[in-house]
Amino acid sequence: MTDPIRDIAIIGAGPAGAHLASLLSAAGRDVILFDAKGAWEKPCGGGVPTRAIREFAFLLEDSNYPRNLVRRLTLISPTERRVTVKLEEPFAIYSRRDLNGLVLDRALEAGAEFIRASVSDFSREGDDWIITTGDGRKFRARFLVGADGAASFTRRRLLGIFPARDIALAFGYNVIADQASNGKDAPAEEEAVVKFPKNFTGYLWAFPRPGVMNFGVASKLGERTSDELRSLLSNFVTDYYGGQMPLPERVSFFGAKIPTLDLSSWPGLRASGERWALIGDAAGFCDPITGEGIYYAFKSADILARVLIDCASEDAADGLVSVTSLYEKLWRESFGHELEKASHRLPMFYHGRFYGHDFSDAVVRLARYHKGVRTVLVRAVMGDQSYITLKTDLLRRAWQVF
């Protein structure tokens, strides 16, 4: 037997799903949110970019959810050139358990109903959805949202999985900080490091989470073997700690997939259909160059919430059928064209030439001597730079150097 009908069912309680639940519940919608894990430690860097902090002020309003604010960024080129930049505006780094907990707690406070269970099945029954959990319970809702990540069960059922060309692979280590040691094992909490290896579509990172150094490597699926990626990562961590890996009991390993859509995938990309929609990673909303998805998780949830609130009401459920066209229009206008341009720029960013040198090496080299080049480069890495004007902006700044 099913429970009374809800307005909206959301599968996945990460930043995208929980933020959507918070917005809709605050607007008076009857929302049910499904996730087997709740707030959990997702294997990723945990970086929240500056523009997300600007647009979603709640991220820094509650000190009960620890985070570090990063104010310095060191960039390392393929030829080991370095530039360290003091950021005009910091970005935040969270444990994903804390970030997920922050957003999920807001959803619960707003009145969302949370079911800590996996979704094993869903199907249409007339105009409604019947959602079945792994423990056999059934729930009914008028509208279904998939917010369950890159490996989304919801997406797989509605549209199919992402093709290999649209996926990047990330590996990483979380290294528990050793407060008793000196030197690199106790870095300035405010500094992050990003390195661009030679002939590589991706990068390595070192992010200072509260109490933990988070190291990772991300690259397009199939470009390098898993062993090659782990070797790159291990060498990076070893170099960071002055020539040796931290003790095994301080190190935990993780792996994850990231949606990084190919240029050919954007024109036909769908994120919604009749009485359903996808947000965040499940929709493929992730920067193809940097792999950053937190901002797009929040932004796509924001857009869908506005559409659902505007198009539907408790007394006019038929308004839900108009969600698809409006949601598709708004996400493309808000960030979709920019992400498509990022896919276009990706080969240049990682494999192109600039003033006769490898692109990333040349830009890091120029950034050491010119504030304008540094600004454009950091904005690109942090997700603030328009990819539509990236090449023009760099050429104009670089010309000033000469």
pLDDT at 40: 72
CA distance 189 to 200: 28
Query: Could you tell me the pLDDT band of residue 313, with boundaries at 50, 70 and 90?
Result: low
Q: Which of 33-42, 230-239, 276-285 has the lowest mean pLDDT?
A: 33-42
Looking at the predicted structure, is the pLDDT value of residue 13 above 80?
Answer: yes
pLDDT, position 349:
84
The CA distance from 159 to 50, in Å, is 32
CB-CB contact of 398 with 375 (8 Å): no
Strands 138-146 and 128-133, sheet pairing: antiparallel
Residue 186 has pLDDT above 50, yes or no: no
E strands, 237-378, are 251-259, 272-273, 276-278, 353-354, 357-358
pLDDT of amino acid 396:
62
Element (H, E) at 114: strand 113-115
The rounded distance, in Å, linking the Cα atoms of 397 and 390 is 11
Mean pLDDT of the chain: 87
Q: What is the pLDDT of residues 49-77, one digit of tens each?
A: 889 999 999 999 888 999 999 999 898 99
Query: CATH assignment of 164-259?
Result: 3.30.9.10
Q: Return the top range by mean pLDDT from 103-117, 167-181, 388-402.
A: 103-117
Amino acid at 237: V
Q: Regarding predicted confidence, which is higher, 97 or 314?
A: 97
Range list of H helices, 36-165: 50-55, 96-110, 153-158
CATH of domain 6-43+95-162+264-344: 3.50.50.60
Query: Does residue 95 have a pLDDT over 70?
Result: yes
What pLDDT is recorded for position 361? 83
Most confident segment among 71-85, 174-188, 295-309, 377-391: 295-309
What are the residues whose beta carbons fall under 8 Å from the beta carbon of 346, sequence distance 6 or more? 201, 263, 288, 289
Q: Is the pLDDT of residue 181 over 70?
A: no
Strand partners, 115: 34
Asked if the model's pLDDT at residue 180 lies above 70, the reply is no
Average pLDDT over residues 129-136: 96
Q: Over range 126-143, report the average pLDDT.
A: 95
The ranges assigned to domains in the chain are 6-43+95-162+264-344, 164-259
